Amino acid sequence: WLAEVFGFEAFRPSPTSPDGTPLQRLLVERGLRGLSTFGILPTGGGKSLCFQVPAEARYRLLGQLTVVISPLRSLMKDQVDALHHRMPHARAIYGGLPALLRPEVLAEVASGATGLLYLSPEQLRNASIQRLLAQRELGAVVFDEAHCLSQWGHDFRTDYPYVLKAIRGIVEAEGAPMPPVFLFTATSSHDTTTEVRAHAEARSGHAVALLDGGSARENLATTVLDVPEARRLDVTAELVREHLGAGAAIVFCGSRRRTEEVAAELTSRGLATVAYHAGLDADERRQRQDAFLAGAHRIVAATNAFGMGVDKPDVRLVVHLDMPGSLEAFLQEAGRAGRDREPALAVLLWSPGDAEARFALGATSDLGADDL
């Protein structure tokens, strides 16, 4: 299936296990064997393939449904769109799904015509979704961007910790076994990994093995520069001019207003830049993101609303003009660079006092309700 469905002749050679086996291969094999696993791969490391290949096998051979819990509607839509020709049985259900489309998707899932279903965590509170899942044999539950279970699950999106409880209730009511649980992320600190893994084991009743390929990428250089606030736009402009080349750049900012100011200032210096944040309406955000992915816009000044859903291969530079809310956020956002495995640079601009200011503000998110 790796070659037939996904067009790859081999698994990615790195990272590897201690015995030299590609970690991507091990994760796929554990998925095929139904062994619950927490997989950590670097950004751009092919983690989606680790659950999509087993999902294809479960559906073709057993007719089972794989449920993927995903944090952002843009991420779900992009993945389903990308799978259109490879896995035409992939669908997504989220709060903003068009009213005319939702009954069609529900009917396809119920009939068995869907093998891979992306859901936002909030959907598991919906009685109709619970009834829908009860009609199918569940082959696996997957958490994409699994660090969100910890990072967002405490107070921002409290439905995250409810997901496995809901799934367990559904299968037990049908007299079925709890499906294996798979968690994937590129950005997980030791504490986050420990918390998420313990949660998954407690709620699922399965032992969850950890396969940790780390977050480091050989082609992505990261650096921290001590730059006073008054000099940051100058330094950012210099970095963009030096590293943009024929590729793209993202400047992450701590507020919506800051993105607009940075976009205007860089544009005035001959570096055409657009702003992206959750204060723009959904259609405008989508247009700007699509233009960036297509190369029509090459520089974006963005809040963290632009992080996980962006998969553009030729981003040569990521600059954090302000300190991000967490280590996971920095790794996730910095990891937008160099996904084509060519050299790229991620820079955090910092000065004494930034940490105190960020902690006082809290690990805020610019995601709006229509992103979720």
H helices present in the chain, as ranges: 23-33, 47-62, 73-82, 102-111, 127-134, 148-151, 163-173, 190-204, 232-243, 256-268, 282-294, 327-334, 354-361
Characterize the bridge pairing of strands 274-276 and 299-302. parallel
- In the prediction, which pLDDT does 163 show? 95
Q: Which of 66, 104, 62 is nearest to 87 (CA)?
A: 66
pLDDT in tens, the chain (372 residues): 788 888 888 898 888 898 999 999 999 999 999 999 999 998 777 899 999 999 999 999 999 999 999 988 878 888 898 898 899 999 999 887 888 999 999 999 999 999 999 999 999 999 999 999 999 999 999 999 898 888 655 554 678 889 999 999 999 999 999 999 999 998 788 888 999 999 999 999 999 999 998 877 788 999 999 999 999 999 999 999 999 999 999 999 999 999 999 999 999 999 999 999 989 988 898 899 999 999 999 999 999 888 666 789 999 999 999 988 877 788 889 989 998 889 999 999 999 878 766 655 554 555 555 555
Show the domains of the chain with their CATH numbers. 23-212 (3.40.50.300), 220-371 (3.40.50.300)
As a whole number of angstroms, the distance between CA 283 and CA 274 comes to 15
- In the prediction, which pLDDT does 307 show? 62
User: What length does the chain have?
Assistant: 372
pTM of the model: 0.77
- In the prediction, which pLDDT does 331 show? 83
Give the end-to-end CA distance of the chain in Å, rounded to a whole number: 32
- In the prediction, which pLDDT does 130 show? 97
As a whole number of angstroms, the distance between CA 331 and CA 324 comes to 10
Helix axes 47-62, 23-33, angle to 10 degrees: 30
As a whole number of angstroms, the distance between CA 71 and CA 179 comes to 21
Q: Which of 35, 45, 2 is nearest to 217 (CA)?
A: 45
Strand order across the beta sheet in which 315-320 lies? 220-226, 344-350, 315-320, 248-252, 299-302, 274-276
